[in-house]
Homo-oligomer: A and B are copies of this chain.
Amino acid sequence: MSFQIPCPAEPGIPLSEVDTPALLLDLDAFESNLRRMDESLAGRNLRVRPHAKSHKCPEIALRQMAHGAIGVCCQKVTEAEAMVAGGIPDVMVSNQVVGARKIERLVTLAQRARVSVLADDRNNVAELDAAAARKGIKLNVLIEVDVGANRCGVSPGEPARALAAAIATSPHLHFRGIHAYQGAAQHVRSADERRALIGRAIQMVRETVALLGESGIECEIITGAGTGTYPLEAGSGVYNEIQPGSYIFMDADYAKNVDEDGKPVHTFSHSLFIWASVMSHVKPGRAIVDAGLKALSVDSGMPLVAESGAEYLGASDEHGVLRVADALQFPPGRKLRLIPGHCDPTVNLYDWIVGYRNDTVEAVWPISARGALY
């Protein structure tokens, strides 16, 4: 029963020999994205804590830290455990941690790494405090404030102040600040709409920080922002930490955001691909590839085909149907690159990411937090 999923490639082999479907990382594009993030923040006094939920890969997180990141964000305690195991010393679980098993893991992890977590509920704060007390630690906690995403978080103003006060007066918790992520704005296509939504979020955060200050509660960290909006938060003078994730990869959906002139807003490049093979006999106008619903997430639409002459029409469990201009160009065994519609849930389907440069495999990294659901 000790079956292990095999690795699709070894360093040094040509890309053409990598087994399919595989998750590919174009290392030139990836490294260029790391540099472009640095350049876009030049001169700002701002901490960057990239979101590791996008890549779930400590090797990528270490490269982000080499570019100045102070640590990573994670969405799950087990994701944070995987990052700490992979050498990341500072992890913010940018999510509520609810339930006895999860809280126990969280405070255990906090004994051996710098860990912070969000809260939006009084009872949960009490549970975190009790668990931290049992370990004899002081746990770092931020309040999550709902600034328009209408998902988790307390409302700005008095509800935020009351929760912050509860944390600040808990003997085993250390109140660190405010998490205000406007997730609903990240994929809004129009620059004006994104600016308006983030403008309102910034105003809510500013007022809440002021209100907490009146109660003597200092916000050391004010964090939020994703790849779709981070220049706005970074320039706000309010946020002092940002947490973009997708910029390293870019996906087909993010690439649709436009600027004031209707041009693509991002200078980031697609670096993440699914390597797929045509697997069935030649038919007029179509080709079947071996990457379906178990190899890519279609929640944000079908993947794009990076090579010309083909369009991905639909996915079943293990198959993808391409419309092709010339079926003879797509015989069985032909390999091609797909650009995922939505990177994060696609990465979560793979155990390995294959880094390549100039059509040669350079590195194969484990996606250690793949399936880290708890």
Pair B332/A96 contact, Cβ less than 8 Å: yes
8 A-B residue pairings within 8 Å (CB atoms): A1-B85, A1-B366, A2-B85, A3-B369, A98-B333, A99-B333, A123-B332, A317-B344
Given contacts A98-B277, A293-B299, A332-B121, contact A53 B1 (CB under 8 A): no
CB of A8 within 8 Å of the partner chain: yes
Pair A152/B319 contact, Cβ less than 8 Å: yes
Q: Which residues of B contact A370 (CB under 8 A)?
A: 5, 371
Q: Which residues of B contact A19 (CB under 8 A)?
A: 99, 101-102, 374
Residue interface bits A75-94, CB-to-B below 8 A is 1, else 0: 11010011001100000000
CB of A281 within 8 Å of the partner chain: yes
Pair A351/B371 contact, Cβ less than 8 Å: yes
Q: How far is the CB of A312 from chain B (nearest CB, A)?
A: 14
Given contacts A280-B120, A290-B98, contact A373 B152 (CB under 8 A): no
Pair A349/B350 contact, Cβ less than 8 Å: no
Pair A3/B86 contact, Cβ less than 8 Å: yes
Pair A317/B295 contact, Cβ less than 8 Å: no
Q: How large is the interface on A (under 10, 10 to 19, 20 to 34, 35 or more residues)?
A: 35 or more
CB of A130 within 8 Å of the partner chain: no
Q: Which residues of B contact A76 (CB under 8 A)?
A: 318
Pair B17/A332 contact, Cβ less than 8 Å: no
Pair B96/A280 contact, Cβ less than 8 Å: yes
Q: Is the interface of A mostly helix, strand, loop or mixed?
A: loop
Pair B281/A121 contact, Cβ less than 8 Å: yes
CB of A372 within 8 Å of the partner chain: yes
In whole angstroms, what is the CA distance A99 to B331 when docked?
12
Give me 9 other A-B pairs in contact (C-beta within 8 A), A3-B81, A19-B101, A348-B349 excluded: A3-B369, A17-B100, A53-B318, A151-B316, A152-B280, A153-B280, A294-B345, A295-B373, A349-B371
Pair B17/A101 contact, Cβ less than 8 Å: yes
Q: Which residues of B contact A58 (CB under 8 A)?
A: 1
Chain B residue nearest to A183 (CB atoms) is B316
CB of A315 within 8 Å of the partner chain: yes
Residue interface bits A16-38, CB-to-B below 8 A is 1, else 0: 01011110000000000000000
Pair B371/A350 contact, Cβ less than 8 Å: yes
CB of A204 within 8 Å of the partner chain: no
Given contacts A101-B17, A102-B19, A124-B332, contact A279 B368 (CB under 8 A): no
Pair B151/A288 contact, Cβ less than 8 Å: yes
Q: How far is the CB of A209 from chain B (nearest CB, A)?
A: 20
In whole angstroms, what is the CA distance A5 to B371 when docked?
7
Chain B residue nearest to A368 (CB atoms) is B3
Chain B residue nearest to A297 (CB atoms) is B293
In whole angstroms, what is the CA distance A359 to B17 when docked?
49
Given contacts A151-B316, A332-B121, contact A294 B96 (CB under 8 A): no
Q: How far is the CB of A370 from chain B (nearest CB, A)?
A: 7
Given contacts A321-B151, A344-B317, contact A374 B8 (CB under 8 A): yes
Chain B residue nearest to A20 (CB atoms) is B99
Q: Which residues of B contact A281 (CB under 8 A)?
A: 120-121, 124, 152, 154
In whole angstroms, what is the CA distance A8 to B76 when docked?
13
In whole angstroms, what is the CA distance A86 to B373 when docked?
25
CB of A278 within 8 Å of the partner chain: yes
Q: How far is the CB of A167 from chain B (nearest CB, A)?
A: 14
CB of A95 within 8 Å of the partner chain: yes
CB of A43 within 8 Å of the partner chain: no
Q: Which residues of B contact A278 (CB under 8 A)?
A: 98
In whole angstroms, what is the CA distance A315 to B82 when docked?
24
Given contacts A1-B58, A151-B288, contact A294 B348 (CB under 8 A): yes
